[in-house]
Amino acid sequence: MTAPNLKAPATITGKTATYSCTSTLAAALSNGASSNKVLKVNTIRAANIDTTSAFSVDITVYRSAANTYIANAISVPVNSTLVVLSKEEYIYLEEGDAIYAKGSTSGKIDLTISYEEIS
């Protein structure tokens, strides 16, 4: 596992991932254990796609077989989008790390994750 030098990276590629939350905590974005990359997560947006009810979302950073919550049971109003993480509060996913997420009800919360793949 070799993390890239962030002061002088070889490449930086902007990417966007999408994920429809289930009611089980699962990986929404992963950085492989031997990727030789770091992922700079700039934004995470949670959208409630239901037209009648609010639903909640949990989002964690998974590292070393443990989840650390960055959002726990955050309510997303009907037909609304909530910014869970903004560019001003970015996080890095090292090799083997992941963003995990779950919704209070499957198929009601969609995530959009904007990130940079640095190698």
Domain annotation for the chain: domains and CATH numbers: 13-118 (2.60.120.340)
Q: In whole angstroms, how large is the CA radius of gyration of the chain?
A: 15
Asked whether 74 and 84 are in contact (CB, 8 A), the reply is: yes
The pLDDT score that the predictor gives to residue 57 is 98
Residues constituting the chain: 119
Structure tokens at 60: 């964690």
Using a pLDDT cut of 90, give the percent of the chain over it.
92
Q: Residue 112, CB half-sphere, CA atoms under 13 Å: how many?
A: 9
Taking residues 77-101, what's their average pLDDT? 96
Q: Residue 37, CB half-sphere, CA atoms under 13 Å: how many?
A: 16
The pLDDT score that the predictor gives to residue 103 is 98
User: What is the pTM for the complete model shown?
Assistant: 0.94
The pLDDT score that the predictor gives to residue 8 is 85
Taking residues 44-73, what's their average pLDDT? 97
The pLDDT score that the predictor gives to residue 1 is 55
The helix (H) or strand (E) run that includes residue 103 is strand 98-103
CA–CA dist 87, 93 (Å, integer): 14
pLDDT-derived band at 5 (thresholds 50, 70, 90) equals confident
The pLDDT score that the predictor gives to residue 7 is 84
**pLDDT digits over 11-55, tens only?**
999 999 999 999 999 999 999 999 999 999 999 999 999 999 999
Asked whether 19 and 59 are in contact (CB, 8 A), the reply is: no
